[in-house]
Every structure is written in C-alpha cells, then in structure tokens.
Amino acid sequence: MPATKITPAHENAFYHDIARLEGKWKRVETKNVPPSGGGSAQMRRGQVARIKLTEGPQVVDFNCWSEADSREHFWSGRTRILEGAHLTVGNRLWSTHPWMRPMITIVNDTVRHAPSPGGGAGHDCIFARCNDKIWEIASGRRGHANCQDNLAGAVAAFGLTGFDVHDAFNLFMKTGIDPKDGRLFFEKTDGQRGDCIDLYAEIDLIIACSSCPTGAGDAGLADPIVHGFAIEIYDLGGVVLPGEREEHRG
C-alpha cells in the first residue's frame, strides 16, 4: 500500500502568513534546556513554539500531548505515512486514534539541509527515542542519560509519567535507510548554532523536548559533544492574518 497523498498544508496561505509576519510575533516564554537535559511548556492553540539551537549542532527529541486528554499524543507512525519520513515546512504532526488530527503544523525551518551521499535527510520521523536500555545494549554503559528519562522528567510537572512518553519527532536529526541491507543510520545534523524550527499549535498542547545525549549525531554512542537549546513560545501578537481561516480565529 503506497503512502497516502494528502493536500500539503503549505498550500494554505494561512501558514505562509504566519511565517511572513514573524516580526510581529510576541515572545511570551523562554526555557533554556541544558545539555543532556529536558524541558517542557504549555502551548495554546494558535501559538508558535520555536525550538532553537542556541549553543551548537544538536539533536532534539520532541513529544506533544493534547492538554485536554493526554491519551491523545503525537503518532510517529501515522505521521510518517501521511507526511513522510523527514518533515519540514508545511508538514503536520498527527495525533493518535481515535482523534487522528493535526496537532502541529511546521511553519518555518532555517536549517540548510545538505544532500547526503547515503540518502540521509533531516528532521527525522523514523528513529525511536533512546532510553537507558539501548545505551546499555549498544555501549555497555548503565544509567546513561537518555531521552526517555529526560522527557519523563520534563513532563512530571504536568502529572505525566514515563508511560506517557512516546516515539519522538527527532528535530535536526539526519537519518536514512541503507538500501543495501535496510538498516537505519544516522549522521551529523545539518543544524547549526542559531538554526530553528517553528511549530504552530493546532490545539492546546503540552510539549516536551530532550537534548539527546548523541549530540549532533556524528559520534554514535561514543562520547559526543552535547549542547543545550531553547524552547521559545510566541503569541501572534494580535496580528490579523490575511489568509486566516474561520476555524483559527480565537
């Protein structure tokens, strides 16, 4: 069965207008996430979350839940079918059954995605989050920092636990599938200090991010350099969007 073809969100003038009027956005919250740590925030429908590389190249694991019902959360597999294995401007993040609706639309991506000889591409929707067990299996190290624990710790303040953490949208992560043997691979991110990706909330959300202990992805599970990053939440600042759709008026 081939991947489903849906109308790309970037064909809608509404999302173009959001990005075009960036200079009028109002930043209402900033959270600085330390290296190998996690952070979380609430988003209201119609806000934008900017995930920004403030220190250097870094992979960021992203989770999100409906604030109204945490059983509705990001569905990596369904998003991969509907949108593709690597996401950028115009792609949506879809939620779990039975809701199965867009939670987020990507409205801006500053990364200069470079072609990879092996077919790697950025903003991954293939890999699972790392946990302590994969670090132990792959490197022999027990109790290593990992995205599962980072995300669980980040959302504890909202009453969520490690059981609520799910497979991530891996921001800035450059991955692919080897055509020779079908094995997954990852390589150094194209993201650089100052790069960001902007995520528009289609519903009220809780979001969480982890500074992945694999760093930029170029050292595998050896001893990578790991950077922190920032989560910035923006209101649209009362901007009247020329392409605004009726259902987005709040």
The per-residue pLDDT for range 127-145, each reduced to its tens digit, is 999 999 998 998 787 888 9
In percent, the amount of the chain with pLDDT more than 70 equals 88
Q: Does a structural domain hold residue 5?
A: no
Q: Does a structural domain hold residue 16?
A: no
- Report, as an integer, the average pLDDT of 85-108: 97
Q: Does a structural domain hold residue 175?
A: yes
- Report, as an integer, the average pLDDT of 173-196: 95
**Residues 37-62: tens digit of each pLDDT:** 999 999 999 999 999 999 999 999 99
Q: Does a structural domain hold residue 125?
A: yes
Positions of E strands within 91-246: 92-94, 102-109, 169-171, 174-177, 184-187, 196-201, 205-211, 229-235
pTM of the model: 0.92
If one counts the domains in the chain, the total is 1
Q: Which of 172, 166, 155 is nearest to 212 (CA)?
A: 172
Q: Does a structural domain hold residue 243?
A: no
**Residues 200-250: tens digit of each pLDDT:** 999 999 999 999 999 999 866 666 899 999 999 999 976 666 656 655 544
Q: Which two tokens stand for residue 18?
A: 């959001």
Residue 240 is which amino acid? Answer: V
What is the extent of the structural domain holding 121?
27-236
Strand-pairing partners, residue 235, are: 26
Q: Does a structural domain hold residue 19?
A: no
Q: Which of 155, 175, 173 is nearest to 163 (CA)?
A: 155
